[in-house]
Structure 1
Amino acid sequence: MHLAAFMNAGPMGTTGWRHPDADPGFMTPGYYRKIARILESARFDLAFIPDALSMPRSLGNSFRPAVEWGSGTPRLDPMTVLGVMAGVTEHLGLAATISTGYHEPYNLARTLGTFDYMTDGRAGWNIVTSFQDAEAQNFGQPRLPPRDERYARAEEVLEATTRLWDSWDDNVIFQDKEGGHFGDPDRVRSVDYSGQYVSTQGPLSVPRPPQGYPLLIQAGASPRGRDFAARWADVIFSSAESLESAAAFYADIKNRARAHGRDPEQIRILTAATVVVGRTDEDAMARHVAFVDLVHPLAGLSRLAYHVNVDLTKYDLDGPLPTLDEVGVQGHYEEVVEFARRENLSVREIGRWYGARTEGNMIGSPASIADNMELWMKEGASDGFMVQATHLPAAFEDFARFVVPELQRRGLHRTEYTGRTARETLGLARPARDEWKNRIAPGRKGSVG
């Protein structure tokens, strides 16, 4: 079982900061050092930080709800935060969310390649295409481009970035002090990539990273997103409201990967799991109910509007959620629709639920949570879990103290790290040079260079 930790570089969710046990110090380095130590002591594979490049404005076209309710703000730069966490860990993978929409391939390749060196091969990149109009407006665009255009740019960014990493062969530098030769120039090449959206000359100023490519992570849920993830991603983060929908997603991704000529065993699918653990099932449920009681419906709607990029105040809050044709995060929207229809919820009720949303039915005693995790894996719904904390760092402390020993006792989770790099920890192969040629979209031959 592979375990990743989903954590903000800022307050957790919309309500996590209100929890009595929540540490308010999310603007301090000590806060992140403590979390990093907890996760490594529990032998987590990876720490994963989501990100967006704006203050949310989706609810009422204003940033006021985000500030008032703490939904999606503040957001510190994840690379800087992960650098703090890297300094107190040796094995924990460290993944930052960086948008293909508003970063250039050279900057991406250089930053992530450097971080991979500075962490001895533990860097990860969560690839997003951005999902809010407010992000576009911070970069000179009136609104977010259509989904197909965002993914078309992402295809070019991934090809150009991986080609930059591959512009150096491995072991180019030999530093012959006596002979005066630093490296072999015949094993470095220009890239000369020119696409519709991005271009770069190369070669990169950073040699090929320790992992070949830093760990590539994706969470696409739309048909286009799933296809992109099945071709490019090493780790896929899925969000599902039921075991059945998670299993369907799992099978679809593995089949798509196989159709594209990839080994599906070289892709790890980690399902979102919001864990609330108690001494007993009843104790855990009481903790969850107390957490739900902290949610203001408008705070939950603010969070949902932020994720779907739709102003929900223009609809009847006491009526059902209407069908939304174009949304920001497709996976979250599908999850909300599935739950709201099953429970017959109004928009206002959805807001209250979403503000304290728990995924994966992971509320219970350590044994119950381990039972559920084991079931999801046996039923072909997951290769592991993206553990989401209701509040930090206490929720991760509880998981490490109570659930991890139960998983280890059952032989489901490691007791020691056996790999050094993030790829080794996850049991993934290091990409050979020019692996990008096997991952580009069918029909794309890549730019000449």
Structure 2
Amino acid sequence: MSRQVKLIAFLMTGPTSHHHAMWRHPETENRFLDPLWWETLARTLEAGRFDAFFFADATAFYNETIMTKGGQMSLLDPVPLVAMMARATSRIGLGLTMSTSFLPPYSLARTLASLDLLSGGRIAWNVVTSASDREAMNYGLPSLLPRGERYDRAQEVLDACMELWASWSDGALVVDKESGDFIDGDKLRPTDFKGKYVGAKGVFAVPPSAQRHPVIMQAGSSPRGRDFAASSAELIFTLQHSLADMQEFYVDMKARVEKAGRAPEDCAILTSIDPIIGETESIAREKQAYINELVDPQLGIALVSAHTGLDLSTYPIDKPITDIPVEAGSRGSFDVIIQGTKAENLTLGEAAKRFATSELCPQVVGTPESVADQLEEYFENKGCDGFILTPTEMPGSFEAFTRSVVPILQKRGLFRKDYPGVTLRETIHA
């Protein structure tokens, strides 16, 4: 079978995703607290044969402006929501973000393994390090670990979870009424993990799923984050700004995956895009202009501040963003912003508003045919292995894409017409 596109939907349990005016669009339903709405969306995406959807997550309001203006936030824990959406579907993958910065490995491994088992092996774990001290304080900590140590802890947490998940051999769960044997203890290997930051000692109590353990997803953009992803991720979520940027990242990550001793095809690179679809090109462009104009500039500055860890409200909004010194905050996030704005020499204010529309990722705008053309160009020119689709209105963006673009990709042989198996790992490696 020829190489095919992978599609994953980006979701958050709040008013917005990447586009920070999404909740203000007149056709957005804002039913993000309604479980039936989420279940219907999951069925829509499954009907479109999406590989998966995943929830990004934030465990704190990053700042007051984001809170009051309806910026990127999570109003629900995605764990119970994913469980409900799993019940409403049977094939689509179900991803969720859980930070390595606060919870012990056993807690993470137990929650994720339980979801994976009950969903039939369809869970993906988006492994992240938290970037806001507000999140740390919510967990009773004074601050996050120093920047250089966050991925060290993340690696330990992931390694400990993998050991816990590997501790059950096939056939360990016996459940034999006649003999009275329930678990074959010889087929369970106790875990004794000792790290600098975390540990786990004992017998893991959750049997393995049909795919053995959740699919590992990661979105690191800094050099340290890229190395972390290259060593273990099966799906990499990236924010790029042009085909050239995508190709550069693609080549770099595939080389890092090989250097880590893995085959390049073992790790799929998925780039974020915002599809905006119209009956004609001009209608699509009008839709784009309309939704982008709804972005609040104050919210844009607050968003960039949250992503970088810098209080950018102290800088003049007409100052070129490339002139702003970065000594703290998220280096990887700031590099992404610089990369997306340097060609146009945008000011801080211009870059912030642009960032709040799509986090500087391509808005793929046009008729269904032209949107499919643009995705095919990115894919065939090795800019990516597939796409993370982020909405500009909910649920309309996903409904329009599923009805109009997916059939075109399928007709061109670029996308599957059915799921190849039951588990998410079967889907992404088919």
Q: Between Structure 1 and Structure 2, how many residues are aligned?
A: 421
Map of 2:405 onto structure 1? 403
In the TM superposition, what is the alpha-carbon distance from 1:34 to its structure 2 partner? 1.7
Match status 1:54 vs 2:60: yes
Map of 1:376 onto structure 2? 378
Map of 2:350 onto structure 1? 349
Question: What SS does the corresponding residue of 1:174 show, helix, strand or coil?
Answer: strand
Q: Is the 8 A contact 2:57 2:73 kept in 1?
A: no
Question: What SS does the corresponding residue of 1:275 show, helix, strand or coil?
Answer: strand
Instruction: Assess, with a 3 A threshold, how the Cα gap between structure 1 residues 323 and 378 changes in structure 2: closer, same or farther.
Output: farther
Map of 1:78 onto structure 2? 78
CA distance, structure 1, for counterparts of residue 179 and residue 33 of structure 2: 50
Map of 2:9 onto structure 1? 5
CA distance, structure 2, for counterparts of residue 103 and residue 294 of structure 1: 37
Q: Which runs of 5+ in 1 are unaligned?
A: 58-62, 429-449
**What is the CA deviation profile of residues 191-239 of structure 1, one whole-angstrom value per residue up to 9, with x for unaligned ones?**
1111110011121110223212201000011111000000010100011
Q: Is the 8 A contact 2:117 2:208 kept in 1?
A: no
Instruction: Assess, with a 3 A threshold, how the Cα gap between structure 1 residues 293 and 143 changes in structure 2: closer, same or farther.
Output: same
In the TM superposition, what is the alpha-carbon distance from 1:251 to its structure 2 partner? 1.0
Q: Is the 8 A contact 2:276 2:363 kept in 1?
A: no
In the TM superposition, what is the alpha-carbon distance from 1:73 to its structure 2 partner? 2.8
Q: Is the 8 A contact 1:168 1:203 kept in 2?
A: no
Match status 1:97 vs 2:103: no
Map of 2:44 onto structure 1? 38
Match status 1:25 vs 2:31: yes
In the TM superposition, what is the alpha-carbon distance from 1:149 to its structure 2 partner? 0.3
In the TM superposition, what is the alpha-carbon distance from 1:334 to its structure 2 partner? 2.5
Question: What SS does the corresponding residue of 1:178 show, helix, strand or coil?
Answer: coil
Identity %: 39
Which stretch of the first structure deviates more once superposed, 298-307 or 414-423? 298-307
Question: What SS does the corresponding residue of 1:114 show, helix, strand or coil?
Answer: helix
Map of 1:339 onto structure 2? 340
In the TM superposition, what is the alpha-carbon distance from 1:71 to its structure 2 partner? 1.0
**RMSD, aligned α-carbons:** 1.4
CA distance, structure 1, for counterparts of residue 73 and residue 220 of structure 2: 23
Q: Is the 8 A contact 1:72 1:306 kept in 2?
A: no
Residue identity matched to 2:105: P
CA distance, structure 2, for counterparts of residue 339 and residue 238 of structure 1: 13
Question: What SS does the corresponding residue of 2:159 show, helix, strand or coil?
Answer: helix
Question: What SS does the corresponding residue of 2:202 show, helix, strand or coil?
Answer: coil
Counterpart mapping for 1:279-428 below 5 A: 279-321=279-321, 322-328=324-330, 330=332, 332-357=333-358, 359-427=361-429
**What is the CA deviation profile of residues 293-316 of structure 1, one whole-angstrom value per residue up to 9, with x for unaligned ones?**
111111122222222222110111
Q: Is the 8 A contact 2:171 2:187 kept in 1?
A: no
Residue identity matched to 2:160: A
Residue identity matched to 1:249: F
Question: What SS does the corresponding residue of 1:265 show, helix, strand or coil?
Answer: helix
**What is the CA deviation profile of residues 364-422 of structure 1, one whole-angstrom value per residue up to 9, with x for unaligned ones?**
11111111111111111111000111121111111111111111111111111111100
Which stretch of the first structure deviates more once superposed, 38-47 or 344-353? 344-353
CA distance, structure 2, for counterparts of residue 98 and residue 336 of structure 1: 24
Residue identity matched to 1:32: W
Question: What SS does the corresponding residue of 1:192 show, helix, strand or coil?
Answer: strand
Match status 1:152 vs 2:158: no
Match status 1:230 vs 2:234: no
Q: Is the 8 A contact 1:361 1:372 kept in 2?
A: no
Map of 2:106 onto structure 1? 106
CA distance, structure 2, for counterparts of residue 69 and residue 160 of structure 1: 39
Map of 1:167 onto structure 2? 167
CA distance, structure 2, for counterparts of residue 267 and residue 169 of structure 1: 25
CA distance, structure 1, for counterparts of residue 404 and residue 328 of structure 2: 41
Residue identity matched to 1:301: I
**What is the CA deviation profile of residues 283-333 of structure 1, one whole-angstrom value per residue up to 9, with x for unaligned ones?**
111100001111111112222222222211011112122132333372x43
Q: Is the 8 A contact 1:131 1:329 kept in 2?
A: no
Map of 1:445 onto structure 2? none
Question: What SS does the corresponding residue of 2:272 show, helix, strand or coil?
Answer: strand
CA distance, structure 1, for counterparts of residue 100 and residue 209 of structure 2: 20
Q: Is the 8 A contact 1:307 1:329 kept in 2?
A: no
Question: What SS does the corresponding residue of 1:112 show, helix, strand or coil?
Answer: helix
Counterpart mapping for 1:166-185 below 5 A: 166-185=166-185
TM-score computed with the length of structure 1 as normaliser = 0.91
**What is the CA deviation profile of residues 170-204 of structure 1, one whole-angstrom value per residue up to 9, with x for unaligned ones?**
22112221111112111101111111100111211
Question: What SS does the corresponding residue of 1:102 show, helix, strand or coil?
Answer: coil
Map of 1:443 onto structure 2? none
CA distance, structure 2, for counterparts of residue 74 and residue 117 of structure 1: 25
Residue identity matched to 1:173: L
Which stretch of the first structure deviates more once superposed, 224-233 or 278-287? 278-287
Residue identity matched to 2:9: A
CA distance, structure 1, for counterparts of residue 401 and residue 31 of structure 2: 20
Residue identity matched to 2:85: M
TM-score computed with the length of structure 2 as normaliser = 0.95
Instruction: Assess, with a 3 A threshold, how the Cα gap between structure 1 residues 325 and 247 changes in structure 2: closer, same or farther.
Output: farther
Question: What SS does the corresponding residue of 2:49 show, helix, strand or coil?
Answer: coil
